[in-house]
Amino acid sequence: MARIALVSGGVSGIGAATAKLLKASGYTVITNFFGNDNEAEAFTHETAIPIRKWNVADFDETQNGIAAVCAEFGPIDTLINNAGITRDSMLHKMSYEQWRSVIDVDLGGCFNMCRAVIEGMRERRFGRIVNISSVNGLSGQFGQTNYSAAKAGIIGFTKALALEGAARGITVNAIAPGYTNTGMVSAVPAKVLEGIVAGVPVGRLATPQEIARGVLFLVDEGSAFITGATLSINGGKYMA
Ligand code: CAA
């Protein structure tokens, strides 16, 4: 039977590319979204991948959303925590809301989603979790104390959960993408982005598909010995 994969933030950018690649590779894929209804409908129209709406930053909504997905499609074996937002600002201008919202969605969402699937994975003695971190969680980034903290937090979370899942057939890994051609990156002021791309040895942004390839590799059953790892896919921008 096909493995069941849930991708958060899965109707655009890296999430959408991942959902499509998993589907093309034989997974039953469900994507979660919270933002733009029109974009989500267009995605499901194009791909026939079912979409379910909830806010990953909300604990109860996430538990209920995942329970409904499991009741409809079956237990989730494969979880991709991709949902994330940016609220860039230098710290001396950052509001509490800018700090809190990024921590709640990017890091809190990871907890809320994993918490909802982990007991089932432990019982079934199989699971694949991939958490999307960022190069900026490794290197830090000017204007992103909130985002860099959340994305670095994801790496610690990944390692701790990898230890807890190892004896139960559950692998937990992170991917740290570099600057990727997505809506999130195109919101960076053009002049700033030009400077960032100039610092990427490969000389360009990643495509979302290039990040999705890493996810597919990590969730494969043959990747059972890879756990607690952080896979950098950043065109050489930062070599940790
Ligand atoms: N390093 C050093 N100095 C910098 C700098 C940098 N990277 N960026 C800006 N500065 C300097 C500016 O030159 C300026 O100096 P002066 O005062 O001497 O002129 C000063 O800092 C203030 O800069 P701004 O005028 O740009 O300040 P601002 O408050 O208007 O904006 C900012 C600051 C919001 C951080 C803006 O620079 C910005 O949006 N930067 C992009 C941040 C970024 O890379 N975000 C990534 C989003 S995509 C993503 O996160 C995906 C992923 O995972 C990779």
Using the mean position of ligand 1's atoms as its centre, give its distance from the Cα of residue 95 in Å: 16
Catalytic residue status for 147: yes
All domains of the chain in start order, with CATH? 4-178+208-232 (3.40.50.720)
Whole-number pLDDT of residue 157? 99
Name residue 115's amino acid: R
For residues 30-35, give the mean pLDDT: 96
Percentage of residues in the chain having pLDDT higher than 90: 98
pLDDT at residue 48 tops 90: yes
Name residue 117's amino acid: V
pLDDT at residue 28 tops 90: yes
CA of 179, closest atom in ligand 1:
54
HSE-CB of 3 using CA atoms within 13 angstroms: 23
Of 27, 96, 147, 238, the active-site residue reads 147
Name beta bridge partners: 29: 5
**Model pTM above 0.95:** yes
Using the mean position of ligand 1's atoms as its centre, give its distance from the Cα of residue 89 in Å: 8
Residue with CA closest to ligand 1 atom 5: 142
Q: Are 39 and 12 in contact (CB under 8 A)?
A: yes
> Per-residue pLDDT tens for 61-108?
999 999 999 999 999 999 999 999 999 999 999 999 999 999 999 999
Using the mean position of ligand 1's atoms as its centre, give its distance from the Cα of residue 190 in Å: 11
pLDDT at residue 240 tops 90: no
d(CA 78, CA 28): 10
CA-closest candidate to residue 151, choices 137, 172, 132, 140:
137
Phi-psi region of 140 (alpha: psi -120 to 50; beta: other; left: phi over 0): left
Using the mean position of ligand 1's atoms as its centre, give its distance from the Cα of residue 197 in Å: 14
Residue with CA closest to ligand 1 atom 26: 192
The residues lining ligand 1, judged by C-beta closer than 6 Å to any ligand atom, are: 86, 88-90, 93, 134-136, 141-144, 147, 179, 184-185, 188-189, 192, 196
CA geometry: angle 121, 161, 173, nearest 5 deg? 90
State the average pLDDT for the chain: 97
d(CA 177, CA 237): 10
